[in-house]
Amino acid sequence: MSATPHQPTVTEREARQVAEAAREQGWQKPSFAKELFLGRFRLDLIHPHPLPADEDTLRGEEFLAKLRDFCETKIDSARIEREARIPDETITGLKELGALGMKIDTKYGGLGLTQVYYNKALALVGSVNPALGALLSAHQSIGVPQPLKLFGTQEQRDTFLPRCARTDISAFLLTEPDVGSDPARLATTAVREGDDYILDGVKLWTTNGVVADLLVVMARVPKSEAGKGGITAFVVEASSEGVTVENRNAFMGLRGLENGVTRFHRVRVPAANRIGPEGAGLKIALTTLNTGRLSLPAMCAGAGKWCLKIAREWTSVREQWGKPVAFHEAVGAKISFIAATTFALEAVLDLSSQMADENRNDIRIEAALAKLYGSEMACLMADELVQIRGGRGFETAASLAARGERAVPAEQVLRDLRINRIFEGSTEIMHLLIAREAVDAHLSVAGDLIDPDKSLSEKAKAGANAGVFYAKWLPKLVAGPGRIPRSYGEFRHDVDLSTHLRYVERSSRKLARSTFYAMSRWQGRMETKQGFLGRIVDIGAELFAMSAACVRAELLRTQGEHGREAYQLADAFCRQSRIRVEELFGRLWSNTDDIDRKVVKGVLSGTYTWLEEGVLDPSGDGPWIADATPGASTRENVHRPIR
């Protein structure tokens, strides 16, 4: 689709440069996952498993008890699903409980919970109704509180954080009707005018936007003598003149989600509300998401726990051919997958969250892997639960209740979870984002070799640097502790997990070698090999999950809390994961990527239109992408602040 007149037209290279400039360039702290992709299995970075401080645990458990009581007595999930909106009194109750300020420091009126307990709270709320979890997560993980915590001035924190902690709901506005994961084409503008900026544009899929009081808005500031311009972040009062919520969007799942379309027409925003300098907006957004992404796997882990509970209860009472269906192998394998994967997801989540709280490690890759892996595996678990429930899994909870059976919302959970593979970076974008970080060390030393814009002298210098790096690095990928039978012996008890850690170590080196071979083979074309890069990342995700599962099992064993059972679950998960890893390694070099590209060209050129004959398209009329030309709104404002 061609760019609309008001929209920037950028080349692929320019778009990549914008994304690259927004990355955190350096690595000031160690990263377990980064080392894993480089073939260095640094178990010492995650084992022994880090633990929260006693006072953090006490404060977190006290709030969870209050939140659990509220969820059990004050939230009607069936009503939210039926009416497709969260009742005002439910949101008001969460405000009074302090749930809006879970991550906000106590000095601003928040609860000051750790990332670990914030995630536990989201898992709890999300298990009752995922739309509520999304509301709380969007408000605190990517809305006003987190960017101000990381990049705001003291005056901004003093002004906005007390409001966010108790009364005001916030939203994050980046996506536009014709701009998704390519922010270089951002069309919303903010033009400096004295002490203000004048904001114009349209934002799409504004989670919380329908009910929000405060907005974080990304807009393009033109370059001027007063500033360098670029994509910039602002805090905007949702009640400002010229702000119109033009539509409350409806989706296949998360029916209570307060998500809309917001138009800005000559909205005056004080320069004091700019977060960070001009041009820092994307960097602020990406940095905010480094830990903000952990909210999604929190709700995915919670969904896994619920799927396991329903699978256990249902398959123990449902009998076929003389025995409970759980003891039929075809069903039992699904139950084992749900149980083992739930254990691993919680392990990945808690490990990543505790590392975020300690701030000793750089967890940008770990958080991204947790989001990627959690969203993919939770969908698989929910799908398996629907299959286990059979026709009852496809039937709605309301229909089950109407004919006298337990109202189990299995189909709703499947619908609700599906968005997590798209939210806050789709699986495909996450593959590319993580792959970029995973090959950062290679690009740091050899990037100029494959950059067509570099001179011969720059390429020669890069070649010399690369030679030194690879002369030291490649020999270390030949052998390691994974080849020594007694390595990781502290994980050998009634169940032996040491064999899985040795496998992770060996596979880590194999993964690094595979990445190096691919870079040598494709060089500058490496970034176009998205199928290969996706498999590299998926292997890394499995290896990270296996590591986390083993470390968590050992922690529970030393604490005397279900240690034997934890070892069994970790063993089952690692065995299942190893099968997936071997398949992914095989598909690195034996796949259909080339023929797929040929078929795609044929589809788009019309070669296969004959295949589409014999059906009718029930889609309505209208453009594929709505017009987002700036200007005054002609539609009713459906903004609904909760007071």
558-604 per-position pLDDT tens digit: 999 899 999 999 999 999 999 999 999 999 999 999 999 999 999 99
Contact between 131 and 98 (Cβ < 8 Å)? no
- Other CB atoms within a 10 A radius of the CB of residue 522 amount to 14
Q: Select from 205, 208, 204, 212 the least CA-distant residue to 237.
A: 212
* pLDDT given for residue 2 in this prediction: 40
In the predicted model, what is the mean pLDDT of residues 540-568? 97
Catalytic residue among 278, 346, 411, 424: 424
In this structure, which amino acid lies at residue 453? D
Instruction: In whole angstroms, give the CA distance from residue 449 to residue 222.
Output: 34
Q: What band does 458 get if pLDDT is binned at 50, 70 and 90?
A: confident
- Residue 260, beta-bridge partner list: 206, 248
Residues 6+ apart with CB under 8 A from 564: 494, 495, 557
In sequence order, the 6+-apart residues with CB closer than 8 A to the CB of 397 are 78, 81, 407, 408, 409, 412
| Beta-carbon count within 10 A of 530 CB | 13
Contact criterion met (CB below 8 Å) for 522 and 529: yes
> Is 421 in a helix, a strand, or coil?
helix
Give residue 3's pLDDT. 45
pLDDT, the chain, mean: 92
- In the structure encoding, which two tokens stand for residue 372, read together? 């990627």
Query: Does residue 424 have an active-site annotation?
Result: yes
Q: What is the pLDDT of residue 14?
A: 59
Amino acid at 215: L
Percentage, residues of the chain above pLDDT 70: 95
CA 456 to chain centre: 41
Q: What is the pLDDT of residue 465?
A: 78
pLDDT score recorded for residue 289: 84
Banded pLDDT at 5 (limits 50, 70, 90): very low
**pLDDT for 6 beyond 60:** no
Question: Which pLDDT score, from 0 to 100, does residue 213 have?
Answer: 97
Is pLDDT larger for residue 4 or for residue 267?
A: 267
Tell me the pLDDT tens digit for each residue of 29-87.
999 999 999 999 999 999 999 999 999 999 999 999 999 999 999 999 999 999 999 99
Stretch among 145-159, 192-206, 326-340, 457-471 having the lowest mean pLDDT: 457-471
- C-alpha closest to that of 397 among 385, 409, 387: 409
